[in-house]
Amino acid sequence: MSRSRNICIIGDSHLAALKLGWDEMRPQYPYFALDMFGSPKDRLWNTEFISGKIIPTNALVKNSFLMTSSRDHIPVADYDAFCVVGCGFDVGRVIEKLTLHYLFRSKTQGAHLVSDGCFKTSVVEALEATLAAKICRMVRQGSRCPIFIFPQPFRSDMILKVRHPRGRFDQLELLIKKGDDKLIHDMFRDSCSEFSKKTGVAVIHQPDETRAGNILTKRLYNEGAVRLQPGFARKHKQWDCTHMNKDYGVAALRSFFATYESSNLTAA
């Protein structure tokens, strides 16, 4: 690689894992310079593209940007590539559809039978409506550089052992026990491929070594996950099966770097 590549990574609370991962692996990738901009929950909806910059529209997001990157805005033209992490882009878009509809090959029956094509179209539309997709559209207003999405990780396989106090993972657990996890995995992959064709945004799927089965993550990547807060030291609650740790961040970034370098070779 002839020069250092400036990469911008934007994300919600799932950015914490990549931030810690990058702190550990940075010396191994001297030809990459990463800036990370993040804000928890869905606060990144409070951003706008103005005069070549992605700018927070409230103090919460501005302060989060300053915490994760030391800058309060994103100068889009400064970067060679963007990667959006989480931000509502996840397998949950398939799962929520299966609570309403079912396919000939699904083992769990919802209220309405639909074709595979109609189901996939519905999922793609849901992916296009995510915060991640909105961020990609803002980036594209100011740059023609490659854009990637790294979806929210699959939930930890701890959901099969530790019940969330509000029953948040009950539907997912039911679908897995019914045997629909492979269908969900394949439909998510197919929908992401269609999303990429429509938008030109590449989706980087979760590294195989981190997965437990089709749509769960090995618990060792969930243990000790921390919040996207100053100091990156406050851990999530034990029953949080959604956020991942530094080791997951390392695996995710390695996957991103491999995909980015491969895309550059293909383009060349």
- Judge whether 115 lies within some domain: no
162: tokens are: 């530790």
Q: Does 209 have pLDDT greater than 50?
A: yes
Which DSSP helix (H) or strand (E) runs through 197? helix 181-199
- Does residue 52 lie in a domain region? yes
Q: Is residue 80 part of a domain?
A: yes
Nearest to 241 by CA among 149, 150, 173, 151: 173
In a domain, 14, yes or no: yes
Residues listed for the chain: 268
What mean pLDDT do residues 213-228 have? 96
254 is a domain residue: yes
pLDDT digits (tens, 9 = 90+) for 5-34: 999 999 999 999 999 999 999 999 999 999
Quote the CA–CA distance of 36 and 135 in Å, as a whole number.
14
DSSP 8-state class, residue 1: -
pLDDT tens digits for 90-142?
999 999 888 888 776 888 777 777 888 999 999 999 999 999 999 999 999 99
65 found inside a domain: yes
Which domain, by its residues, includes 33? Answer: 5-90+128-158+183-267
Q: What is the pLDDT of residue 4?
A: 82
* Residue 248 Rama label (left phi>0; alpha psi -120 to 50; beta): alpha
Q: What is the mean pLDDT of residues 209-216?
A: 97
Give the C-alpha distances (Å, rounded to integers) separating 59 from 5, 63, 125. Answer: 30, 6, 31
Does residue 144 belong to any structural domain of this protein? yes
- Give the least confident one: 22-36, 68-82, 127-141, 225-239: 225-239
Q: What is the DSSP letter of 226?
A: B
Q: How many structural domains is the chain composed of?
A: 1
In a domain, 225, yes or no: yes
CATH classification of the domain holding 84: 3.40.50
